[in-house]
Structure formats: C-alpha cells, structure tokens
Amino acid sequence: MVHLFDPASQPQLSALDLPDVVLEMGQLFADAGHQLSLVGGPVRDLFLGRVSPDLDFTTDADPDATIGVIKRWADHYWEIGREFGTIGLRKDGHTLEVTTYRAEAYDADSRKPAVAFGTSLEDDLFRRDFTINAMALRLPSLELVDPYGGVRDLHAGMLRTPGEPSASFSDDPLRMMRAARFASQLQVEVAEEVARAMTDMADRITIVSAERVRDELIKLINGKDPRTGVDLLVDTGLADHVLPEVAALRLELDEHHRHKDVYQHSLTVLEQACGLETGEDGPVPGPDFVLRFAALMHDVGKPATRRFDPSGAVSFRHHDMVGAKLTARRMKKLRFDNDTIKAVSRLVELHMRFYGYGDAGWTDSAVRRYVTDAGPLLERLHRLTRSDVTTRNKRKAERLAFAYDDLEERIGALREQEELDAVRPDLDGQQIMALLGIRPGPLVGRAYKFLLEERLEHGPLEPAAAEAKLLAWWAEQPESAGTSDGPSAGAGQP
C-alpha cells in the first residue's frame, strides 16, 4: 500500500491508502509513453474519508494500446465495454476499468451515447456529470487535477456541473436522476441552476432505459437521506415520469384539512423505516431496499380510492390492495426482478392488516394468519407498520405502539409453542393420498388447503384428530359419492 496524502499539509483530504495496483498500473502506462489518471468517484471519496469500491481510470491510450499495456500484468481482462473505450481487468483481487479520454452525447431520441475519443484529460473531465466527479489524480505522480472546482463544491456541499447543466443533461439525461441520488447518498445540496435544468428537461428522462433508471433509483432509496432525493424527483417533475404514483400523492387538502398530507406522510414513513433497520447481525440489515421502497409506496393507492361521504369525512377504502397492484405495475415497468416486486407489493398489501388488531384484538387464529401471510417478510412488516404511525396525537401513537408490542409478544409466544415460521397442515400430501386413496391432482391440493385452514384456525392437532377431520371433510365432497368401501383409489380422476 502507498500512503497518498499528508494530512498535515492538506487537511481537507483523507489520509487513506490506495491499493498498490493503482501506482503499479500508473507506472506501466508511463513506461509505455501514455497518460493514466485515477478519476471520478474514487478521487471524490478520498475527500469524503471513505474507500470507493470502484477503481476507474482514464487514459490517452486507445483500447488496443490499453490492452497492450496491461495484458501481461493483469490476472484477467475483458473487452465488453470496448466500443465505449473501456477495458476491464482484475489484478490482485481488485477490479479496475480503464477508459480512453472521450466525449459523448445522446441523439435526441437515442438511448445510447455516441462515443468519440478525446486527447485531453481536462476535456475528458469537462464531459463528466458533476464537478465533484470531475477530479483526477495523475499517476504515478499523484498530482490532483481539479479544473472545475470539485474540491470547492465538496467543501460547500454543493452539486454543480462542469459546464451548463442543460448541456450536461442533454448529453446524458440519466444525470438528472444521478443528481437526486447524490442528494440522498452524499447529502449535498443541488445548485439552483441544476435544479432548474432538471425541471426544464424532466421529460427527457424518458429516452433512458428503464434498467438504468431503476439502478439509480435503488441507489437513491438506499442512500443516507432518501427523503431529500425523492423530494427532488417530485419537485423537479422527474417523478412524473419515473414514479408518477409518488408524485400523485400530493393530494390537495380540503379547506377543513380533514386528512393529512399523504405525500409528506409517506416521506416521513420512509424516513422512520430507515431508522428501524438493524445492523448486519439483525433481522433487517440496512439499507434494505424492500422495506424502504414499500414505505415510500405504501399509500400510493390513496389517490384512486379517496372518497368523501355526505358528512364530509374522507376515506381510502381498499387503498392497500389498489396500492399493491400499482406498486407491482410500476416496478415491472422499471424492470425489477420478480422476487423484489413480490416482496415490496406484498408489504404494501399487508400494511393495514394490523389495524384490526389495534381496534378489537385478535384470536390466536388471526395471529397465525398474520404471521403466515407475511412469511419471510414478517420482520419488515413489523417495521413498516410501526413506521406508518406519524400522528402528532401522543396518546394515539402510544396506544398503537402498545398494541403492536402486544401483537409481537403474542407472535413470540405462539412461535415458541407452534413453530409459526413453518406452519404446515398436520398431514402431508402423501398421508392425504394414502388416507383418501387418491392419486396426485387438484383434489389433493383442496384437501391440503382444508387442513391448512384447520391448522391456522385451531393450532396443531394430533395425527388421529387430523385424520378424523379430513375424513369428515371428504365425506362432504362430491368426489366421494358412490364409493361403498371408503375412499376410492380413483377418486377425483377422469
């Protein structure tokens, strides 16, 4: 490892170490007559006192020349990004990317950048998204190159572009999403001219692929301050294109203020959910995208379900079910994977379930169903439900907290007694078929479902009692009619 900065002479920089491979590769390029600089996020992160997981470099060497320099030195290299000037490699456990100086721009209706290679480090930095990412360290000399005031803006906590924001966002509209992401991740303020350009050009985000938007959204939601990032998306109009369901939460309050501001409530729930995440060893290690996104989206069904009764009271009946469908639809459009879609939409669907308990209390059967319906999402559901309490009425908040404490205690007690995490019928499929004399088919599924309902309603049964209940159920099924010797081996089959 090489010690990078002297904190006594440059107190604004972190005294972090860079991996040896950084200087080694810098020397390789220098010996070959080429320039090489560490660039972007890794340099920015040195000023923030953290280690960047990425090691990105820029060079005057074209891709062929880059391969010529590193092919014998690297443990492995690949050319997947070659058309964009990027060569990737692995060395001593580190992943590095080397990109030829370039300038890129989007055509008006294109999703892909048109790439042209450049010859100047300063010009290459000028094309980058924000000044805090437009800094470089020349290698192997470790000379800082900061032509656009990245250090100044980091000190000020301000997000600016090297050139005109409109030109930057025209080149790559995803940079508007990235601005909101950095507001969340780095807790920086977006400069007024940047926010204005985002507002003026918000509709240009539609030419960017759903996958790229999704990836930025995940980073935003998982940032230190997702509330600020989401708020920026909504204020600039970007959310109208990428998360219109969230933008629609800004319901106009009626003149008597008979319901809370749903949008601000949702941001508060998101903020509170972040605060309930656990450490790495806990049940919900943060940042947890599923919990956070469910918190943001939990009330998106309200605009479509808002009703005023004759007395003027407002209701949002079934907004949980409607919201779950809207959430799943939006996530599919953003190309999320099926497991994440199912998890988030299921939490949205279940987020109101607890309020029946708070109102009237539940039987053991209802508690079992709550746990079973939540399945592996139970710990997240606990946190989402608690986060959903944003009332300023202290007594009401305390009453809800007490009720949920009680519910969790009952879940814990039942779990000890009944292994709630793996509730199954008291007889399995093979036992069902043997007892009823039937072959695999839909009828087995119906019998299984009947026994599962019995298990949820009454708790675990002894095998003999379960068999008696199943035979009593079977006697009432039309498939059992016409059998004289008990269950038929061909019952339920064509």
Confidence of residue 111 (pLDDT cuts 50, 70, 90): low
Confidence of residue 113 (pLDDT cuts 50, 70, 90): low
Torsions phi, psi of 62, nearest 5? -80, 170
pLDDT higher for 34 or 452? 34
| The 3-state secondary structure of the chain, one letter per residue | CEECCCCCCCCCCCCCEECHHHHHHHHHHHHCCCCEEEECHHHHHHHCCCCCCCEEEEECCCHHHHHHHHCCCCCEEECCCHHHCEEEEEECCEEEEEEECEEEEECCCCCCEEEEECCCHHHHHHCCCCHHHCCEEEECCCEEECCCCHHHHHHHCEECCCCCHHHHHHHCCHHHHHHHHHHHHCCCEECHHHHHHHHHCHHHHHHCCHHHHHHHHHHHHCCCCHHHHHHHHHHHCCHHHHCHHHHCCCCCCCCCCCCCCHHHHHHHHHHHHHHCCECCCCCCECCCHHHHHHHHHCCCCHHHHCEECCCCCEECCCHHHHHHHHHHHHHHHCCCCHHHHHHHHHHHHHCCCCHHHHHHCCCHHHHHHHHHHHHHHHHHHHHHHHHCCCCCCHHHHHHHHHHHHHHHHHHHHHHHHHCHHHCCCCCCHHHHHHHHCCCCCHHHHHHHHHHHHHHHHHCCCCHHHHHHHHHHHHHCCHHHCCCCCCCCCCCCCC
pLDDT mean over 206-229:
97
Residue 184 has pLDDT above 80, yes or no: yes
In this predicted model, what pLDDT tens digit does every residue of 2-17 receive, in sequence order?
Answer: 334 433 334 344 445 6
Give the percent of the chain with pLDDT over 70.
87
Checking 448-456 for CB contacts under 8 A at 24+ apart, the result is: 451/425, 451/426, 451/427, 452/423, 452/424, 452/425, 454/425, 454/426, 455/368, 455/423, 455/424, 455/425, 455/426, 456/365, 456/368, 456/369, 456/372, 456/423
Query: Picking from 162-171, 347-356, 365-374, which range would have the lowest pLDDT averaged per residue?
Result: 365-374
- Give the separation between CA 37 and CA 467, rounded to whole angstroms: 74
pLDDT higher for 315 or 131? 131
- Give the separation between CA 405 and CA 98, rounded to whole angstroms: 54
Per-residue confidence (pLDDT) for residue 368, from 0 to 100: 83
Q: List, in sequence order, every residue forming a beta bridge with 115; answer none if it has no partner.
A: 104
Query: Over the chain, what is the mean pLDDT?
Result: 86
pLDDT mean over 60-87:
93
Query: Picking from 93-102, 148-157, 334-343, 349-358, which range would have the lowest pLDDT averaged per residue?
Result: 349-358
Per-residue confidence (pLDDT) for residue 417, from 0 to 100: 66
- Give the separation between CA 484 and CA 371, rounded to whole angstroms: 42
pLDDT mean over 160-177:
95
In this predicted model, what pLDDT tens digit does every residue of 378-424 receive, in sequence order?
Answer: 999 999 999 999 888 888 888 888 888 888 888 888 777 656 555 67
Residue 492 has pLDDT above 50, yes or no: no
Check if 2-154 and 157-242 are the same fold: no
Per-residue confidence (pLDDT) for residue 349, from 0 to 100: 96
pLDDT mean over 102-131:
76
Confidence of residue 252 (pLDDT cuts 50, 70, 90): low
pLDDT mean over 45-56:
84
Give the percent of the chain with pLDDT over 90.
57
In angstroms and rounded to an integer, the radius of gyration of the C-alpha atoms of the chain is 29
Per-residue confidence (pLDDT) for residue 485, from 0 to 100: 43
Per-residue confidence (pLDDT) for residue 391, from 0 to 100: 83
Domain 157-242 is of which CATH architecture? Orthogonal Bundle (1.10)
Residue 434 has pLDDT above 80, yes or no: yes
Are 148 and 126 spatial neighbours (Cβ–Cβ below 8 Å)? yes
Would you tell me the crossing angle of helices 226-236 and 289-297 to the nearest 10 degrees? Answer: 40
In this predicted model, what pLDDT tens digit does every residue of 236-245 receive, in sequence order?
Answer: 999 999 999 9
Residue type, 7: P
Per-residue confidence (pLDDT) for residue 486, from 0 to 100: 47
Question: Are β-strands 307-308 and 36-39 bridged in parallel, bridged antiparallel, or unpaired?
Answer: unpaired
In this predicted model, what pLDDT tens digit does every residue of 36-48 receive, in sequence order?
Answer: 999 999 999 988 8
Per-residue confidence (pLDDT) for residue 104, from 0 to 100: 57
Torsions phi, psi of 35, nearest 5? -85, 145
Spell out the domain ranges in the chain: 2-154, 157-242, 260-423, 429-480
- Give the separation between CA 339 and CA 345, rounded to whole angstroms: 10
pTM: 0.79
Per-residue confidence (pLDDT) for residue 11, from 0 to 100: 38
Tokens of 107: 């055509």
Tokens of 212: 């790229």
Residue 335 has pLDDT above 50, yes or no: yes
Residue 209 has pLDDT above 80, yes or no: yes
Looking up tokens 């990412």, which residue turns up?
A: 133
Report whether CATH 3.20.20.60 matches the domain 2-154. no
pLDDT mean over 270-294:
96
